[in-house]
A and B are shown apart, each in its own frame.
Chain A
Amino acid sequence: MAEYTLKLRRYDPQSGEAPYYEEYRVDLEPHRSVLEAILMVKNEQDGSVGIRCSCRAAICGSCGVRINGRPGLACHTHLDKAANTGVNSDGTTILVEPMGNMPVIKDLIVDMDAVHWKKIQRVTPWLINKEPVPEREYIVPHENMVDVTQSMACIQCGACVSDCLSMEVDPLFVGPAASAKAYRFVGDPRDAEQFERLKDLAEDPHGIFDCTHCFTCIDACPKGVAPMSQIMRLRRITTNDHHIVDRNNGERHERAFTSLIRGYGLLHEAELLPRSYGGDSWFGKFHPAAGQELLSSLPVVVKGLMRGKMSPKLALLGHRIPSRDLKAVQAIFETVESKDRRYELNLYITGYEDGDEDVGVPAAVAAGDDGMPSAPGPDPHQPTSASESESA
């Protein structure tokens, strides 16, 4: 047995009083769960503590909370691990708070309907059949279904939503859980509306291009769904397969970045911004959208130049790697971009060679795969985004 201090955030919005923290002492073995400790407090010390739970086996997704500042399932976190989590941990105190980004109903219970489920509904979370519907079952290639199993592992606990850093500043962001759900259907060859789904999420100012790539959802997820990785796959199919040029600069930014590296080997920062707004060529900066952005950024640019942060020469010409190496880099672009099938390795599916006996082979995940005839794919006659634009 070990003694822990459970520090719970208490709040009842209907009471009109401010939130406060209350400490309880619990004696439990270190391998018992945080949920068991909370329920023990509720049963033996204070029946008014509010917590939602059901299965106690990390499958129902009800007991999402923040433990020492990190989101997770209370039933899936051992007391010893919890007490040692976080930079300021002392080994015995366990701070339990409700999940973030969602309004609190009472104590550790948040309003999932107000945020999480609304966002899930927003991505049309069901399959839209391709017509004609087959008389019996759809035949789907194994690798396609394996590809979407990662997003199917989601138990809707909301841990990723809780700590999404984009949602913290933009509550309208579609968010990690709903994006993973969107990929569940975008990646399914039976779905009829891959293009429409992606166009919708790309054009939404709070859609897939609003993700700030902070990896928080990857760490938060108790099921290994890696929502951010699913968002990157949504972006990849949007830009590379469907060439959807969105109003949020998502496609232009990716294209400009990639082609600048192809042209210079290093990032030409001064070109990236105007091209992301105005289109991927040296003339991009003369596009009205780029002009407007450059004008609004002018004070920042002038200050940077004044401080000697960048020389005018660097700002105009950029920097590049030696020409022999640049040729080698461009040859890599040529080789990889000329393939009509994407070669992707998803470690969630294949596992790691070391310490993992069951190692699969890398799956070529591509729209246009054999056995996936009706899915839109990269047209071999159509140059890919990066090869389309030679460097300025």
Chain B
Amino acid sequence: MKVAYWPGCVSRGFTPELHGSMAAVAPLLDIELVELDRACCSGAGVIAEHSQELADTLNARTFALAQAVQGADLMMNICSTCQGAHGESQERLDANTEYRDHVNGTLAAEGLSYEKGLTNKNFLWLLVEEIGLENLKKKVKRPLTNLKVGPFYGCYIVRPTDRLGIDDEHPRDAYLHWVIEALGGTVIDYAGIHKCCGFPIVTMNKQASLKQAGTHLADAQDAEADCLVVPCPLCHLNLDLQQPVAKKAVGRDDLAMPVLHLPQLVGLALGLEPKQLGMNKHVVKPTSVIDWSAAVVGAPVPA
């Protein structure tokens, strides 16, 4: 399937392994990525905090660019924060014709216009709803046997439930659990699964922010997780890049918790090597913490 693909800023900035691993995994899942390289930052909620109309207009421009991609089935995000910021803008734009016309009036200068009803899915949602777990299972070459994975959803793709379309038919707040199991891994239940990584307040209240990250890492480690998996690069920054300081904030020098991006976890199971997935770029290197001899990479790839 062909998707209008928005990688976001951070996946091409401070977590380049996310964008890289998505590009490596896409062909194995028969996803054709058409990168929206003309689009701008989603605002991450901060521009909306400054001016709702500004955030909505910038995002309407991104949506219009996505709708202009010939033959694309939908738009796809790999950053939860972008997904949430996009969802908030789209909810307002789709709810009210007058407001949408007003925003489109600003876009007209560039000859663009957003048409109500864009389908914009996070990679996680796309895996479950478009590719399908049965199909995904068939593609697994190296099941994540014995790998104990703690899901960490991040806020923006689980709340608010109404806006994100989470209901009995689409329990999107359980999808990460399902994907881990479909890839052959074991889901670790711990307190932080649906909590906040703390990143948004790292410049405003650093201690509180690091305490959030540190607490989740400690909870996961105490529940004997081998690693966490996140669908959001900002969570990754607080949980991995900041882990050396986060563990100090909660007084847990023993913490060493590898944090994988979702496409990396999928890539491993589909037979790619850790290095191809940029896992050497992590601060807590998964390759040096996880005992791979018993799981995943140590296991032979069936022909």
Q: Which residues of A contact B (CB under 8 A)?
A: 84, 87-88, 165-166, 168-170, 173, 205-206, 209-216, 218-219, 232, 235-236, 239-240, 248-250, 253-255, 257-258, 261, 265-269, 272-273, 276-277, 299-300, 303-304, 307-310, 314, 318-319, 321-322, 325, 328-329, 331-333, 335-337, 339, 342-345, 347, 350-354, 359, 361-362, 385-386
Contact = CB atoms under 8 A, between A and B. Distances in A.
Contact of B50 (A239, A308, A318, A325): A239
A183 B124 CA distance: 36
A303 B40 contact: no
Contact of B110 (A276, A321, A328, A344): A328
Contacts of A218: 159-160
A84 B106 contact: no
7 contacts: A166-B196, A209-B201, A215-B84, A268-B13, A321-B39, A343-B52, A352-B96
Interface stretch (B24-32, B130-138, B238-246, B256-264): B238-246
Contact of A361 (B39, B57, B58, B98): B98
Interface stretch (B140-148, B205-213, B223-231, B290-298): B205-213
Contacts of B174: 87
Interface string B153-183: 0011001110000001001011001000000
B159 A215 contact: yes
A131 B91 CA distance: 41
A304 B211 contact: no
B252 interface: no
B13 A166 contact: no
Interface string B74-97: 000000000010000001100111
Given A166-B201, A211-B201, A212-B201, A350 B96 contact: yes
A213 B155 contact: yes
Closest 5 CB pairs of A and B: A215-B159, A214-B196, A267-B9, A276-B203, A169-B211
| Residue among A250, A255, A343 having the largest count of chain B Cβ atoms under 10 Å | A343
B283 A336 contact: no
A88 B189 CA distance: 10
B208 A166 contact: yes
B38 A299 contact: no
A321 B40 contact: yes
B37 interface: yes
Contacts of B45: 213, 232
A336 B37 contact: no
B219 interface: no
Main SS at interface, chain B: helix
A309 B12 CA distance: 10
A347 B92 contact: yes
Contact of B198 (A212, A336, A354): A212
A386 to B, nearest CB: 7
Given A219-B159, A329-B61, A84 B168 contact: yes
B282 A307 contact: yes
Interface in B10-55: 10, 12-17, 37-41, 43-54
Contacts, number: 225
Contacts of A386: 50
Contact of A248 (B14, B40, B156, B204): B204
A254 B102 CA distance: 25
Contact of B13 (A165, A276, A314, A322): A314
Given A166-B201, A215-B159, A248-B204, A309 B16 contact: yes
B215 interface: yes
A289 to B, nearest CB: 11
Given A300-B245, A307-B283, A314-B13, 8 more contacts: A168-B212, A209-B205, A254-B46, A266-B13, A299-B245, A300-B241, A309-B283, A362-B96
Contacts of B38: 321-322, 325
B205 A165 contact: no
A258 B50 contact: yes
Nearest to A249: B203
A276 B209 CA distance: 15
Contact of B208 (A170, A253, A272): A170
A173 B107 CA distance: 40
Contacts of B99: 345, 362
Given A169-B212, A213-B45, A332-B54, A309 B96 contact: no
Contact of A269 (B9, B40, B159, B160): B9
B97 A353 contact: yes
A332 B60 CA distance: 11
A385 B50 contact: yes
A328 B204 contact: no
Contacts of A342: 51-53
A165 B54 CA distance: 28
B49 A331 contact: no
B52 A344 contact: yes
B204 A210 contact: yes
Nearest to B161: A219
B200 interface: yes
Contact of B52 (A272, A314, A321, A345): A345
Contact of A359 (B84, B96, B205, B282): B96
B243 to A, nearest CB: 9
B39 to A, nearest CB: 7
B282 A261 contact: no
Contacts of B211: 169-170
Nearest to B159: A215
A386 B47 CA distance: 10
Contacts of B155: 213-216
Contact of A265 (B41, B107, B171, B196): B41
A269 B13 contact: yes
| Residue among B9, B106, B204, B244 having the largest count of chain A Cβ atoms under 10 Å | B204
B119 interface: no
Given A277-B203, A300-B241, A319 B12 contact: yes
